[in-house]
Structure 1
Amino acid sequence: MSASTPPLGRPLVDPTEHFPALAALRAAVLRKDGDAVIAAFASLPDEDDRALACWAVAETPDAETFLQDLASRRPDDPLPNVLLANHLILRGWEIRSDARAEHVTREQFDAFHAHLRRAEILLIDVCAAHPRDALAWYLRLISARGLELGQSEARRRHDRLAEHHPHHFNAQSQLLQQLCPKWGGTWEEAHGYARDRAAAAPEGAPNGALVAVAQMERYLDIAQDRTKKAAEEYLREPATRAELLAASARSVLHPAARADAYQMVAAHNAFAAAHSLAGRPADAAPHFRALGDRATEFPWSYVSADHAGAFARHRKTALAQG
């Protein structure tokens, strides 16, 4: 690390710690200031930025009553119902947990599906009245997966969104999950989709990180079904490394990349994790330098239950060697 580089601190996992605008948005939800919430979204023209802002609202404790009241006061505005649906989806997934299906109880599944069905009712109405609403279609990809509606329905929802927003990184990330074997897909489909969407996106867009996400999903699958060593060997394959380097050069490390875009944090973390687990600190270093203290739970949660600690350890190694 050069002498001019600011000293690194603790990893900041909550995106409201990365971006002041998101902190202000969460504060508006906490004080139940509906006008400020609406204005905050109006100031975000980028749909991927709006998606992260949507989650910042959803993760605010005890937001449901406020969002219900906001929706009732603004019946012609789709945003409050979308935000409420996102909150319900989040609570549902928290009940389900991130365990494999065989470790989730029937009671958990029932409560999980009940939350998703409530969200679906809201989102179906929004999509009917506002078919170009990217947030609603994006969230319907998440609810489709949770309700086990299958590959065809997930692709249909993705395609409806892509008609108006062809490079929506968050939506593509959700469909990529659906295409993994754990949700009924195949590795051929998952890797093929990641490569195609990364290649189709504009230079400097975060979509190249889909390649890294697909590799991390494959890593986790191998680690769970075989051994961690076998998973690391997969990431070390020369073709795997070459694919990552090409994807990052065209996306997050390209001169056209927007350093202030919210999704660049998620994208750099995905690349950094994949290179780190493959034992390539020099390849991970540019991503850690771009990130500073800005960590994300995914994919570091695939590395350790202490995802912030995993980020910090690998960052230290990468910046010392790269």
Structure 2
Amino acid sequence: MNSTSSGGATGSAGPTFDPYDNTPELISLRSAAQAGDWPAVRAFVTGLGSVAKVCSASSLLAGIAGVENLLERAAADLPGDPLPRTLLAHRYVVIGWDIRSSARAQYVSREQFEQFHAWLRRAEQLLIEVCAEHPAYAPAWTVRLITARGLQLGQAEARRRYDRLSAHHPHLYNAQTQLLQQVCPKWGGSWEAAHGFARECATAAPDGSVNGALVALAHIEHWLDLEGAERAAYLRGVPVRDDLRFAAQVSVLHPSHRPDWNTIGAHSAFAFAFSLGGHTADAAPHFAFLGDRAPEHPWDYLSDPRASYLKYRKSATEA
């Protein structure tokens, strides 16, 4: 089944950017977490059958206010189980990052940084224990890529953690998106490193994997870092367009692609990059799949994400 044949209908309402609208099967996980039902949470996550889905579930659980109370109890009751400690660490990371905010470092106060780092150190301690006991446990290593970035442990340490993970799970998209952020200039990397890593992931993964979307995400980050005329021109460039086309064809537009929980985000990245580059016909198949479903990122890089999505989807539909 080609990915473009199984998308959502294109309505007029536009995206809610709600992950539970995009992936309704996750609603029962949220309900269990909000009800404080650890056995139901554990049964759901352990029954997912893929590391990528566990990482996605961890991300969503980490965003639920107050879930740390449930996870702290579970971690205390099950000291040998890596799952509750990993989920708890991920929640601590989100608490810390909410305090820090998404602002550039120069706009974050000293007090914010202190609280941010304190929460990340709590998370890191849990993850160190999990990774020592379960060295192949990818969900913990994935969260450790976030703590490495937030604690400013450097490029070499982040890459070491990724290498430990990829030795067991070489094409884990959830982890690759985290390392991509690390190798961008804003976190001490370079554009050469960012684009190189994205292309490496896209070409190394099997055809039809979502990993090609890393190419789009790298170009979006590069675009965001520019200003004025340079920013306006960047995604319009023919080399960037061709790079995006190749990545889309080997990933979500490839005949062997089978939609998973990362597919909506991957299509969204391509739709965003093609649209802002003025390549409306190239954006069309991605919007055809998405319909009214889209993740908040990268549309949150625009001043009015929902209106922008609707505008660019309309242009692509009419192309």
When the two structures are superposed, what TM-score results if normalisation uses the length of structure 1?
0.94
| 1:70 counterpart SS class | helix
In the other structure, the counterpart of 2:288 is 289
| 1:32 counterpart SS class | coil
Residue type of the alignment partner of 1:92:
G
What is the rounded CA distance, in whole Å, between the counterparts of 1:117 and 1:318 in structure 2? 45
Residue type of the alignment partner of 2:287:
F
In the other structure, the counterpart of 1:131 is 135
In the other structure, the counterpart of 1:247 is 247
Any idea what the Cα deviations from partners look like across 1:30-50, whole Å, max 9, x if unmatched?
Answer: 011111111111221222221
Pick one of 14, 17, 20 that aligns with 2:21.
17
Work out whether residues 16 and 56 of structure 1, in 8 Å CA contact, stay in contact via their aligned partners in 2. Answer: no
In the other structure, the counterpart of 2:72 is 68
Work out whether residues 162 and 168 of structure 1, in 8 Å CA contact, stay in contact via their aligned partners in 2. Answer: yes
In the other structure, the counterpart of 2:43 is 39
In the other structure, the counterpart of 2:60 is 56
In the other structure, the counterpart of 2:190 is 186
1:314 is aligned to 2:312: yes
RMSD: 1.5
Residue type of the alignment partner of 1:250:
V
Residue type of the alignment partner of 1:113:
H
What is the rounded CA distance, in whole Å, between the counterparts of 1:162 and 1:123 in structure 2? 17
* Aligned positions of 1:219-298 closer than 5 A: 219-222=223-226, 226-227=227-228, 229-259=229-259, 261-298=260-297
CA 1:182–1:6: 2 relative to 1, 3 Å: closer
What is the rounded CA distance, in whole Å, between the counterparts of 2:201 and 2:26 in structure 1? 28
What is the rounded CA distance, in whole Å, between the counterparts of 2:45 and 2:82 in structure 1? 12
What is the rounded CA distance, in whole Å, between the counterparts of 1:251 and 1:36 in structure 2? 34
| C-alpha displacement of 1:7 | 4.6
| C-alpha displacement of 1:282 | 1.1
In the other structure, the counterpart of 2:301 is 302
Any idea what the Cα deviations from partners look like across 1:247-277, whole Å, max 9, x if unmatched?
Answer: 0000001111112x00111111110000010
| C-alpha displacement of 1:18 | 1.4
* Aligned positions of 1:98-117 closer than 5 A: 98-117=102-121
Q: Which runs of 5+ in 2 are unaligned?
A: 1-7
Any idea what the Cα deviations from partners look like across 1:102-147, whole Å, max 9, x if unmatched?
Answer: 1110001001000100000010100011111110000000000000
Work out whether residues 28 and 37 of structure 1, in 8 Å CA contact, stay in contact via their aligned partners in 2. Answer: yes
Report percent identity of matched pairs: 51
Residue type of the alignment partner of 2:66:
D
Any idea what the Cα deviations from partners look like across 1:203-237, whole Å, max 9, x if unmatched?
Answer: 11110001000000000000xxx31x321311111
Work out whether residues 295 and 308 of structure 1, in 8 Å CA contact, stay in contact via their aligned partners in 2. Answer: no
* Aligned positions of 1:80-229 closer than 5 A: 80-222=84-226, 226-227=227-228, 229=229
| 2:83 counterpart SS class | helix
The 4+ residue runs of structure 1 with deviation greater than 6 A are none
**Mean alpha-carbon deviation: is it higher for 190-199 or for 295-304?**
295-304
Work out whether residues 14 and 296 of structure 1, in 8 Å CA contact, stay in contact via their aligned partners in 2. Answer: yes
| 1:11 counterpart SS class | coil
**Mean alpha-carbon deviation: is it higher for 182-191 or for 48-57?**
48-57
What is the rounded CA distance, in whole Å, between the counterparts of 1:7 and 1:231 in structure 2? 29
Any idea what the Cα deviations from partners look like across 1:151-184, whole Å, max 9, x if unmatched?
Answer: 0000000000001000010111111111111111
**Mean alpha-carbon deviation: is it higher for 70-79 or for 247-256?**
70-79
| 2:301 counterpart SS class | coil
| Number of aligned residue pairs | 313
Q: Which runs of 5+ in 1 are unaligned?
A: none
Work out whether residues 120 and 143 of structure 1, in 8 Å CA contact, stay in contact via their aligned partners in 2. Answer: yes
